[in-house]
Amino acid sequence: MSRPLILLVNPWIHDFAAYDLWARPMGLLVLATRLRRLGWEPILVDCLDRDHPDQEPTRLKEHGRGRIRRTPIPKPEVLVDVPRTYARYGVDPQVIEKDLIYLPVPAAILVTGMMTYWYPGVQEIVRLLKAIFEDTPIFLGGVYASLIPDHTRQYSGADRVLVGPGEAVLPEVLSRLTGIVHPEKSMDPDLEFRPALDLMSAVRFLPLLTSRGCPFSCSYCASRKLTLTFVRRSPDEVVEEIEAARHRYGISDIALYDDAFLVDARAHALPLLRAVAEKMPGLKWHTPNGLHAAAIDAELAEAMYKAGFETIRIGLERASDSFHSATGRKTTKASFLSAVTNLRRAGFSPEQIGAYLLVGLPGQTRTEIEDDVDEVLRAGAYPKLAEYSPIPGTEMWHEAVRASRFPIEREPLFQNCTLLPAAEPEVDWTFLQKTRARIREHKSPVKE
């Protein structure tokens, strides 16, 4: 009996800006590993594939980062007054359509959706899928579906919306809607973390998950809403995955996808990093999701240096103890300063140590942003400004709704961080551009 085909689709991005900072459709790739164990044959169509063989490649930056192909498109009506160019990011639709037409008819289609305000890209791919595979059920999961399921059901065009982690419900739903029944097989929990890298056009780095979820409950973050429990793999299993990827694909870069890699570092991160340093010297680690400053003592900083950490991002958010006391107590100013000192003493340069700073928060003033930037620069790190996007379901959401000049609760497009939707009027793009210019003058820019 042949294995039933399931098509996994990563949609285009419709936005004012997008950039590939080690972004891969990790949820779909991990689901593909589980689906194979359950008797399905997954195929991936990635509309953001920078290595698509029928598309002119974009310029590749070091360590696997780079620009995403960009095509200007008309703005949605509610955004026509925004003075920036709106675009589709990803492979040309004609190329994707050709790929789909030449595929065998799948038994089911699973589409993911990330940012809530990227839903027009989801709508576009669902329309195309329905035109080509009229009788195939389309499931939609991911962050968009989990955060605003009612909007997803009403506007996405999908036949079924999956809320929360897909592994728990997908086998039963697939069996019920397709009539294809496979016995549930015992699962190694570690395998549910492993991406099916062979589905990608090229493997330029290893997207790595050593844990899922986060034990913190920060008021501006949706991690606990999307993943209710915090689960970690064994360090030995992670090391084995890295060794296998290095042998099969020749990777030298690792993009760490964890939300809380350094929690209880002595039991998890330290033994893992020490094993990597001993067995696989020469790797380069990158942490786009951010690390917890409070965990970076001298011992851990040294282990990170020996393991090959290259791009360090610390999730500082604000250099204000009162802010952290009010939003989840993830760190303190003293913890951040200590972390930077330990990293510098271990051998890292200031340009390698980035600190994410949220800007455009409800009630946040220009002076507060300038003070945060100055604190990071004085510490010997590099400020990375991250525009705040209001996230439905978080504690800060209600504050953002009250502060916003847009109806963010009715239209997800207004949740776009480009609009600075919850910012004070004095915190605008002109001010942020000047602030970034000041940062560049203070230190040589990190390559991104």
What's the CA gap between 200 and 48, in Å, rounded? 11
Contact in structure between 76 and 123 (CB atoms under 8 Å): no
What's the CA gap between 428 and 83, in Å, rounded? 13
> What domains lie within the chain, and their CATH numbers?
5-178 (3.40.50.280), 205-442 (3.20.20.70)
Provide the 10 A C-beta neighbour count for residue 386: 16
β-pairing, 353-359 vs 382-387, is parallel
Q: Can you give the pLDDT at residue 438?
A: 94
Q: What is the pLDDT of residues 340-389, one digit of tens each?
A: 999 999 999 999 999 999 999 999 999 999 999 999 999 999 999 999 99
User: Does the pTM exceed 0.95?
Assistant: no
Q: Can you give the pLDDT at residue 446?
A: 43
Q: Can you give the pLDDT at residue 181?
A: 67
- Give the CA distances from residue 373 to residues 176, 343, 379, 414, in Å, rounded to whole numbers and listed in that order: 54, 19, 10, 27
| Among the listed residues 419, 340, 436, the one whose alpha carbon sits nearest the alpha carbon of residue 82 | 419
Kindly state the helix (H) or strand (E) to which residue 129 belongs, with its residue range: helix 119-132
Q: What is the pLDDT of residues 256-282, one digit of tens each?
A: 999 999 999 999 999 999 999 999 999
Q: Which of 105-119, 169-183, 210-224, 323-337 has the lowest mean pLDDT?
A: 169-183
Select the more confidently predicted residue: 170 or 149. Answer: 149
Q: What is the pLDDT of residues 305-328, one digit of tens each?
A: 999 999 999 999 999 999 999 999
Q: Name beta bridge partners: 5.
A: 41
What's the CA gap between 367 and 420, in Å, rounded? 17
Average pLDDT, the chain: 92
Provide the 10 A C-beta neighbour count for residue 332: 16
For the CA atoms of 429, 66, 72, 130, the dihedral, rounded to the nearest 10 degrees, stands at -120
Q: Can you give the pLDDT at residue 447?
A: 43
Per-residue confidence band for 159, with pLDDT thresholds at 50, 70 and 90: very high
Q: Can you give the pLDDT at residue 448?
A: 43
Q: Answer yes or no: is pLDDT of 172 > 90.
A: no
Per-residue confidence band for 228, with pLDDT thresholds at 50, 70 and 90: confident
For the segment 413-429, the average pLDDT, to the nearest whole number, is 97
What's the CA gap between 192 and 195, in Å, rounded? 8
Provide the 10 A C-beta neighbour count for residue 49: 24
Task: Spell out a b/e string for 58-93, using b for 16 or more CB atoms within 10 Å of the CB, else e.
Answer: eeeeebbbbebbbeeeebeeebeeeeeebbbbbbbe
Select the more confidently predicted residue: 233 or 64. Answer: 233
Tokens matching residue 444: 């040589």
Q: Answer yes or no: is pLDDT of 424 > 90.
A: yes
Q: What is the pLDDT of residues 202-225, one digit of tens each?
A: 999 999 999 999 999 999 999 988
